[in-house]
């Protein structure tokens, strides 16, 4: 995490965040993170938000992710999620660790994992990456994840390119959150009594809730990413709206409260008992 978020490389910086405990940090003040997707069931729809890294994917330069083998599909089935019944897949941005299970490998072909779903992609992100490929400016990693995880669902006719701040119906809306990419989005769910936001990589780690000025080296604009985090925190502080990051360790959902010393805290909740808005 220290390479991605340089401010976290110093243990003293993490030690200064008094509320940051296990599982988000270790005893030596190093940080923990995961890659995960979110499944949301409403009365009439099933949403999958961010689809992790995927199996069999080429991820040059990241050995731990290259040609991974996980039990993702079996885990879905164990959770009684029929992938053929998923209605909507939303990627908060089109990076390799958020699009992988858009597809799976079958007899040498990449097929949509959720064949009956609409795949919602940021138009800004897609056009930017597609332009890089058309102009021959894409590196090996970008070319691989577009070819294996993005283009096959386009060819299947399942993709809907979306603008920021669009309403997806049934209380689900898209929020423009330019951070890691210019077209990055967060997803807001208002379903019944539940109100929560899946923020993707708006916050790579809960420490950025306490220190929104800590930006990653991969942000397209560090100044813009800082402004986006500050806007989200100001909007959510003191409300009962839940927020989760795609790389937050479990428990991943929590609320934002104003800290005593000019900052914010992340207070986790039990998603099975404490989700009412």
Structure confidence by residue, pLDDT tens digits, 28-69: 999 999 999 999 999 999 999 999 999 999 999 999 999 999
Element (H, E) at 197: strand 194-198
Model confidence at 192: pLDDT above 80: no
CA-wise closest residue to 114 among 88, 92, 151: 88
* Domain spanning 38-162, CATH class: alpha beta
Model confidence at 272: pLDDT above 70: no
When pLDDT is cut at 50, 70 and 90, the band that residue 271 belongs to is low
Q: What is the structure's pLDDT at 204?
A: 97
The mean pLDDT of the chain is 94
Model confidence at 275: pLDDT above 60: no
Write down the number of H helices and E strands in the chain.
Answer: 7, 14
Express as a percent the part of the chain with pLDDT over 90: 88
**What residues pair up with 172 in beta bridges, in sequence order?**
169, 189
Which residues, including other chains, have CB under 8 Å from residue 40's CB and lie 6 or more apart?
Answer: 46, 47, 49, 189, 191
Express as a percent the part of the chain with pLDDT over 70: 97
Q: In this predicted model, what pLDDT tens digit does every residue of 133-154 receive, in sequence order?
A: 888 888 999 999 999 999 999 9
Average pLDDT estimate for 10-26: 96
Region of 46 on the Ramachandran plot (φ > 0 left; ψ -120 to 50 alpha; else beta): beta
* Domain spanning 6-32+172-268, CATH class: alpha beta
Q: In this predicted model, what pLDDT tens digit does every residue of 79-125 receive, in sequence order?
A: 999 999 999 999 999 999 999 999 999 999 999 999 999 999 999 99
Model confidence at 277: pLDDT above 80: no
For CATH 3.60.15.10, the residue range(s) in the chain are 6-32+172-268, 38-162
Model confidence at 75: pLDDT above 70: yes
Q: Where are the alpha helices (DSSP H) in 117-174?
A: 123-134, 140-145, 151-155
193: its two tokens: 């009594």
Q: In this predicted model, what pLDDT tens digit does every residue of 118-130 receive, in sequence order?
A: 999 999 999 999 8
Which residues, including other chains, have CB under 8 Å from residue 18's CB and lie 6 or more apart?
Answer: none
29: its two tokens: 């003040």
Q: In this predicted model, what pLDDT tens digit does every residue of 247-261 receive, in sequence order?
A: 999 999 999 999 877
When pLDDT is cut at 50, 70 and 90, the band that residue 276 belongs to is very low
């Amino acid at each position: 995490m220290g390479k991605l978020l340089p401010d976290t490389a110093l243990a003293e910086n993490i030690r200064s965040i008094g509320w940051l405990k296990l599982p988000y940090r270790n005893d030596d003040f190093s940080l923990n993170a995961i890659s995960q997707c979110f499944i949301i069931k409403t009365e009439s729809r099933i949403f999958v938000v961010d689809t992790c890294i995927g199996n069999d994917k080429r991820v040059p330069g990241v050995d731990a992710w290259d040609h991974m083998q996980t039990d993702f599909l079996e885990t879905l089935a164990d959770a009684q999620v029929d992938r053929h019944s998923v209605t909507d897949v939303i990627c908060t941005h089109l990076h390799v660790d958020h699009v992988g299970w858009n597809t799976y490998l079958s007899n040498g072909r990449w097929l949509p994992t959720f064949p009956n779903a609409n795949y919602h992609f940021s138009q800004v992100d897609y056009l930017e990456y597609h332009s890089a490929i058309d102009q021959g400016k894409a590196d090996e990693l970008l070319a691989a994840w577009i070819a294996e995880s993005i283009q096959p669902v386009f060819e299947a006719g399942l993709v809907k390119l979306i603008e920021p701040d669009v309403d997806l119906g049934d209380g689900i809306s898209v929020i423009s959150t330019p951070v890691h990419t210019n077209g990055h989005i967060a997803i807001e769910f208002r379903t019944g009594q539940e109100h929560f936001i899946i923020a993707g990589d708006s916050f790579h780690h809960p420490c950025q809730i306490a220190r929104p000025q800590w930006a990653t080296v991969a942000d397209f604009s560090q100044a813009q990413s800082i402004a986006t985090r500050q806007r989200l925190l100001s909007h959510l502080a003191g409300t009962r709206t839940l927020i989760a990051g795609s790389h937050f360790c479990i428990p991943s959902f929590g609320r934002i409260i104003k800290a005593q010393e000019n900052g914010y805290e992340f207070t986790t909740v039990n998603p099975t008992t404490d989700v009412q808005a």
